[in-house]
């Protein structure tokens, strides 16, 4: 019996050592996918509990993608989302223009307003900094689909940012020229 307890503690410690370094990444993705702090925290807790149950000694950078894939599934289940939903593609333009002139909460808000497949890939790429290949592993789609979704997301983000910059601030109206 003591042998099983020690083996269990060893597994928990191995899991802790392998998974805890990626907690911030998991929480950042959960915040975008779940849209509220409470829901994000619960999703990350569910993810780590599920991962601990499935842990078999995964090591290194592979743990990151594995955890994020579990988190993605947890978030989808919590949102009641059906797999395979896809947004309408748009033209892609330079996403960097959207990030230069606004703060992180605004970008996260804009990302949160994207359709789920687009929001998650742009978050994985530009917030968590995964490679296209790693994003493909997390989402279970081909790298070309990842690239397409990122392009679509960046186009929508740029359009949203441009629209926000053109709209007058709340409570203000454009001056009228009389003449």
pLDDT tens digit sequence for 31-56: 988 888 999 999 999 999 999 998 87
Looking at CATH, the fold of the domain delimited by 86-167 is given as Arc Repressor Mutant, subunit A (1.10.10)
pTM: 0.69
CATH 1.10.1740.10 fits 6-81, yes or no: yes
Mean pLDDT calculated for residue range 80-99: 41
Q: What is the dihedral of CA 54, 56, 59, 65, to 10 degrees?
A: -30
Q: Identical fold at 6-81 and 86-167?
A: no
pLDDT tens digit sequence for 127-171: 899 999 999 999 999 999 999 999 999 999 888 888 877 766 555
What is the number of residues in the chain? 179
Going from N- to C-terminal start, the domains of the chain cover: 6-81, 86-167
């Amino acid at each position: 019996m003591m042998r099983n307890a020690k083996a269990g503690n060893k597994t928990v410690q191995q899991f802790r050592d392998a998974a805890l370094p990626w907690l911030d990444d998991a929480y950042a993705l959960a915040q975008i996918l779940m849209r509220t702090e409470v829901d994000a925290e619960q999703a990350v807790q569910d993810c780590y509990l599920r991962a601990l149950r499935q842990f078999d000694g995964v090591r290194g950078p592979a743990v990151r993608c594995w955890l994020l894939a579990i988190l993605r599934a947890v978030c989808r289940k919590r949102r009641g989302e059906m797999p395979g939903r896809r947004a309408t593609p748009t033209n892609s333009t330079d996403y960097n223009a959207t990030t230069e002139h606004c703060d992180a909460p605004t970008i996260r808000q804009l990302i949160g307003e994207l359709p789920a497949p687009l929001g998650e890939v742009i978050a994985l790429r530009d917030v968590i900094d995964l490679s296209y290949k790693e994003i493909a592993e997390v989402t279970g789609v081909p790298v070309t689909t990842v690239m397409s979704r990122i392009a679509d997301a960046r186009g929508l983000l740029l359009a949203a940012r441009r629209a926000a910059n053109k709209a007058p601030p709340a409570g203000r109206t454009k001056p009228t020229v009389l003449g």
